[in-house]
Chain A
Amino acid sequence: MNLSLNWLKDYVNIHKKTTAEEIGKMLSLRTVEVEKITNEGDKFNGVIVGKILEVAKHPNADRLQLAKVNIGDRVLDIVCGAPNIAPGQLVPVAMVGAILPNGMEIKEAEVRGVKSSGMLCAADEIGLGTDHSGIMILGKKAKVGKPFAEYLDLDDIVLEVDNKSLSNRPDLWGHYGMAREISAIFNLKLKPLNEMIVGKLEDIAKAERGPVWLDLKVKVENQELCPRYMAVAMTGVKIADSPEWMKKRLSAAGMRPINNIVDITNYIMLELGQPMHAFDASLVKNSKNEHRIIVRQAKKGEVMETLDKEKRNLDPEMLLIANEEKALAIAGVMGGANSEINPTTDTIIIESANFNPTSIRKTSGKLSLRTESSVRYEKSLDPNLCETALLRAVDLVKAICPGAKTASEYSDISNFVTKTGPLEIEAAWLAKKIGNKLPAREIVKILNNLGFATEHIGHKFIVNIPTWRATKDVSIAEDIVEEITRIYGYENLETTMPKVEMEEPEKNEERILERKIKDILTGTPALCEVYNYSFVGDDQLKKLNIDSAGYVRLVNPIASHQTMLRQSLVPNLLGNIRANQARYDSFGLFEIGSIFMSAPGDINKNSQKTELLPYQEKHLGIILAGNNDKEIFARAKGVVEHLFASLKLPAYFKEKDMKPVWSDGRMVAKIMSGATELGMVVKLDSQLAKRQGLKKEAVMAEIGLKNLLVLYKTARKESYEALEKYPSATRDLAFVVDAKILYNDIKDAIAGSNPSVKDIELFDVYEGDKLGSGKKSLAFHITYQADRTLTNEEVETFQKDLMKKLEEKFEAKLRDF
């Protein structure tokens, strides 16, 4: 919202020495965020007053004219399309380099072969109305060569407030409310409303009646959606431009002047925060010549055209202003084109109403139509404001249209209560919340300045909530704490560290494990941690042959490749390969992140614990990219072994029966620890890799942290073994077996061959022509150790027995070379 400083000064006597910057800073520290402060005149930088000396026809275009314009220090040649220019006129000239309020930048241009050094401006081009019929002709007080801003008397300063910081404050959507804040911040007197609004509601009917008298009747069908509806008719209005002072105010606040009646409704909205609407009474009239306003819900399939000439499809959740025959406006959102104020309007019906914030919010959301009116109604406006605003409207119409007179009784259909308290607040309670004891006088002053009638009685404060804060914003004592402390100034509160009792620390074991894993993987394996999106897309899964049927989907995804929640870290890790493959030969990455399943998990959805959220768990994903698939497969398994060894957990690999659809079918291993399966190591199928633009071989390992944590807590081996007292003996054994025989089985056989086998280390695997096809050679270091010194002969016997067993079990042949 834009605040005009001059406008604010109507209500509060700001000290002359207080700069706009200071006001902006204090508003930011005490109330709302002021984002920008601009001098109104700056809008017209580069626009100056010029005098037309000559007008000639453009040689190459019938509709264009060439003007010679004196701008004081020189004469410019300007091409102009408007027909209304003549020598002697004073006009606004936008010079080369100027940026007009509508965003247009003026450049040196050639128009149909003639150079043009600037532009003569129409009123709409410089944000001074809608008139585009011709160049704006200035009055005699214009001085050639002087800034146009000076001619316009633009001495105002505009403070731009972040609307988001106003979302909880219905009272701050008008200048008067802001002025109240300034009065509290600077401890200044606020001009009371009754000094501005002289009339009372009863006076409306008593006032001199116009020549036209309407039998205006209002019916509110749903009072919950419309807590208050006030209306009155006025006649003898003459539609014209608003007076300059009003146009200036509206422009400063960022609103385009339209005509006197519409401007009055906007002016009151910007002044008091109450949206208003004016109908042309002759267009509200039904076929029986009656003026009936019905506030009702839209019918199914009902369509109406709004002021912006758009056809709107309505539904029964939307509230309308209508007569018996047609819809006239979408309540609180936008008026209808059929009852709009127009140049021939002479009798108007002024609406000052209050609507249900949720209903307005839903309607404007459904129609994608957020207006100055709807944003205010959404904030829960004070229904009492309707009355103030209606009186103000009658006053302003009479002031601006001198012949205007009341043309109906006023209507006021209302059904609302405002919870104004009072709240009783103990001084000790306040001090306990704030942590500081503020002077009682200061508290009373702050609250009274803000409109909270407050008394200090004994050890209590009795606080009355003003109606404009009572709709939602302020209802409990904690809300009063905020009012006091923010105006007192947060920087003026003491800063202390809490004193607390020590407690037994609650360990978050998953976080500890997660951090440990990250430290391990960025250590010796030298992997790089990545963060990926939790989303995947249909196309992405299809390229991996993954069926997306069971995936959790988003209602409102941001992009077609991010429509579902991932069930595995693999798809996005593959994307990481694509991002890096051009620059790195081989690399390894990992991620720890959540995966999501559609089946219910173990986290409750609400406090009653009646339902469960979809299953989600953190996974560890590791991906290695390189050129030799066997090498990186072995390396990936090495990384997994290193991880488990560092976590002091056992680990080994097993063949996996259920292979992922995207695997190459051969290099797929289960990661086992004891009897628990924790995850897998898988090579991506080379064809599928190509299909998604991978130029590398990729091997992934994925491990669920939930099972790993259970294991980490129960199976971690962190014990010490006494150093052996007797020497060990290490012997090598190399033999050839069928390639199908698995390492795990051979290892188990060796381990079981003799109680003295202490350690088994595979140091060479060979497959080649020398061995014949379908054969492999394995070479082990086998370490024997016992509770005595083993003799050479004993160890030789162990080896012979072992080899014999291997021959029997696996048809192994000793390799002699």
Chain B
Amino acid sequence: MTDTPVKIVVDLSKPKGERESIIPLTDEEIAERDAQAVIAEAERVEQEAIEAQKAADAQAGRDALVALGLTEAQINALLGA
């Protein structure tokens, strides 16, 4: 049997030693959490692909400048690197 996931709530208005509550998630909270994790993962994968493409494009641009005869120092000065 899978344990019910819990959330930790720390009420700082209470004295030390009495602040922490371990509360099981409701079925609705679990479903919402799982749905959000799927969405977050999809967004992250998409963002990583975008950033990887940007990095690849930047490198391709740099390589093109090298092919045109610019030195690394000239390229760095041009790109502000």
Co-complex (A, B): no
Q: Which residues of A contact B (CB under 8 A)?
A: none
Q: Which residues of B contact A (CB under 8 A)?
A: none
